[in-house]
Chains A and B, each alone.
Chain A
Amino acid sequence: MTDIRTTIDDWRNRGAHQPWFRRYEWLAIGLVGWIAAAVLFLPPFGKPTPLGAAGVILWYLTGFVLAGVMLTDREKPILLKRATSLSVIVLFFWLFYRYSGTRWDRVQEQFFNFSRMDGVWELYAQGLLVTLQLSIVAAVLSIIFGLTFGILRTLGNPVIDLFLGLHVDIFRALPLIVSMVLIFYALPFLGIRLPAFWAAVLALVLMNSAYQTEIFRAGIESIPRGQIDAARALGLGPGATMRFVILPQAFKIVIPPLTNNLVSLVKDTAVAYVITVPELLTTAQQAVTWKRTPTPLVLSMFVYLATLIPLIHLTRRLERRLDAWNVR
């Protein structure tokens, strides 16, 4: 970090050729004035007067212009930029605090009321377990089907292509929740009664294997023709060519879209709530009725975050590792 003294000298010297409104002193003063105006003059939430509303809008606009001028110029001292972005963020939250209409006194009591959470954590654990079972079963099955269908689609048999293409088209266009409801609530009319868990698995597999069919197919088709020629010229059969030459290369291409698909599969297990699978969201809703407070629902969101954010970061790390490996 630069010494404060030289930083200030820097501002003086480098700003010298700028018009007055771009000089750092004025911008800094403007920023301070902007914050002061917010604290002192902005009207409280409630009945908005025309004057008050105009003031809020004016305040917003000046804020954005100031911050924009300050932040988009790469020559500005880093200290000033940091201060600007900090105040933008602080003021954003402050604005939300003041104008969102939230009754902050009730937030803690309603949303984070840990005293009412007795027994709910155990419920969460059960729910999370079901969510994980659902995710793993559905993920494994859809990879098996997606890979098989993907390979079959590259063979170019028109009959197979017709059916697999239909599968892909239908389940890329049908919302997951609709197919779940159809499977669970409509199929019983036909005498097909699947347990809720397996109805959810079926819907998840139908949709995700459709997406994965296309992912695997694209991966396989992106392998240059010459690779296949070379493998066949060595005398490798179609199966061995697929196994030793095409799939290992397609695998690396397929990983990023595939992990994205799997992450959204895990998220989509929450939809199974509508067909009463006792997964995390369902247990949270049960707890809401049981404890008469929205706290369990709000906290369940954090359970999802705590599960999924690491998962997303893990997949991103994997992708980066693969990238580095591919470039070499």
Chain B
Amino acid sequence: MSAVSDTKAEPMIEARGIHKYFGGSHVLRGIDATIARGEVAALMGSSGSGKSTFLRCLNRIEEPSQGDVLIEGTVITDLRTDVNRVRADIGMVFQEYNLFPHMTVLENVALGLIYVRRRPRSEAQETAADALKRVGLADHVTKHPQQLSGGQQQRVAIARSLAMRPKAILFDEPTSALDPEMVNEVLEVMRTLAEEGMTMVVVSHEIGFLRKAADQLIMLDAGQVVERGPTARVLDEPEHERTREFLRAIR
């Protein structure tokens, strides 16, 4: 149940002491984070530091072993939560696009509207077409994902999230699988979204993009937050040695 109320001060997403174990390995070691409505938060950290796992805990694709996630003040890591409703309200974009190869682009985008939002098919397809127009793919609706370039596929994936009219979208390295010349078309779409006030949590190492679009930067290392703050501050004057090291390595 999404508690809709007039809560301007209330953060959109809040994570409280998230721990995650995979068998014996302790992957997330108590992560807190607060993302305000309309804010763009960036997650950085070396490979294996737990960025994806944390992101996936936010919509319970991964079940946190301990700790709570709150969406608009409602605890979603709760026994009574209809997790599918929560997920429908939070979009997610994956590194490998994960489009459904057996459906056309339009069907991909309309799927959630039809079977989760229970919209009539024709209305769902209109909404889907609108979302595809917003990412600049109005001409490709009848194609199958395999017929598109990587950049186009990733934009379809963004449209698939957008069409659900989500409260927030989670991006897990959306440009890392792309050829360099396609990175910008995806980042451009993400920038527009940010400007339109979408709440976003982005795992990305595209410094230029983050500088322009991200409000908050969270640096993870070995399952813990080592540093956080306004993007420009963390990028230009990192306080923690680990952050400096990492920034040197990716530049």
* Segment of A96-104, A196-204, A224-232, A299-307 engaged in the interface with chain B: A224-232
A190 near B: Cβ within 8 Å? Answer: no
Q: Does B100 contact A230, Cβ atoms closer than 8 Å?
A: yes
Within 8 A of B (CB), among A214-249: 224, 226-227, 229-237, 240, 244-245, 248-249
Shortest Cβ gap from B150 to chain A (Å): 14
Rounded to whole angstroms, the CA-CA distance of A84 and B101 in the bound complex is 49
**Residue among A224, A229, A245 with most chain B CB within 10 A:** A229
- Chain B residues, CB < 8 A from A232: 61, 87
Asked if A249 contacts B102 (CB within 8 A), the reply is: yes
Q: Report Cα–Cα, A236/B111, bound state, in Å.
A: 9
Which residues of B (192-208) have their CB < 8 Å from a CB of A? none
Q: How many residues of chain B have a CB within 8 Å of chain A?
A: 29
CA distance A328 to B103 in the complex (A): 13
A252 and B94 contact, CB distance less than 8 A: no
Q: CA–CA, A232 to B85, complex, Å?
A: 10
| Interface of chain A: mostly helix, strand, loop or mixed | helix
A245→B101 CA distance, assembly (Å)? 9
Report the minimal beta-carbon distance from B119 to chain A, rounded to whole angstroms. Answer: 13
Residue of chain A at shortest CB distance from B146: A328
Is the CB–CB distance between A226 and B112 below 8 Å?
A: no
B87's partner among A233, A248, A328 (CB-CB below 8 A) is A233
Q: Is B231 located at the chain interface by the 8 A CB criterion?
A: no
Query: Residue of A at shortest CB range from B102?
Result: A248
Bitwise, B75-119 to A at CB < 8 A (1) or not (0) is 000000000111111111010101111100000000110011000
Question: Contact between A230 and B164 (Cβ–Cβ < 8 Å)?
Answer: no
Q: What 1/0 mask marks residues of chain B from 147 to 182 whose CB sits below 8 Å from any chain A CB?
A: 100000000010010001000000000000000000
Evaluate contact between B98 and A230: CB separation under 8 angstroms. Answer: yes
Instruction: Choose among A224, A227, A235, A248 the residue that contacts B112 (Cβ–Cβ < 8 A).
Output: A235
Q: Is B29 an interface residue (CB 8 A)?
A: no
Residue ID in chain B nearest A327 by CB atoms: B146
Cα distance A287–B115 in the bound complex, in angstroms: 59
With A233-B61, A234-B87, A236-B115 already in contact, the answer to whether A245 and B100 are too (CB < 8 A) is yes
- Residues of B with C-beta under 8 A to A231: 100
Pick the residue among A229, A234, A237, A252 that contacts B164 (CB under 8 A): A234
Residues of B within 8 A of A (CB): 56, 59, 61, 84-92, 94, 96, 98-102, 111-112, 115-116, 144, 146-147, 157, 160, 164
A-B contacts, 11 of them at CB < 8 A, read A224-B96, A226-B94, A229-B61, A233-B92, A234-B87, A234-B164, A235-B89, A236-B112, A249-B101, A249-B102, A328-B147
A residues lining the B interface (CB < 8 Å): 224, 226-227, 229-237, 240, 244-245, 248-249, 252, 328
Beyond A230-B92, A230-B99, 19 extra complex contacts between A and B, CB < 8 Å: A224-B96, A226-B94, A227-B100, A229-B61, A229-B94, A230-B94, A230-B100, A231-B100, A233-B61, A233-B90, A233-B94, A234-B87, A234-B160, A235-B85, A237-B84, A240-B116, A252-B102, A328-B146, A328-B147
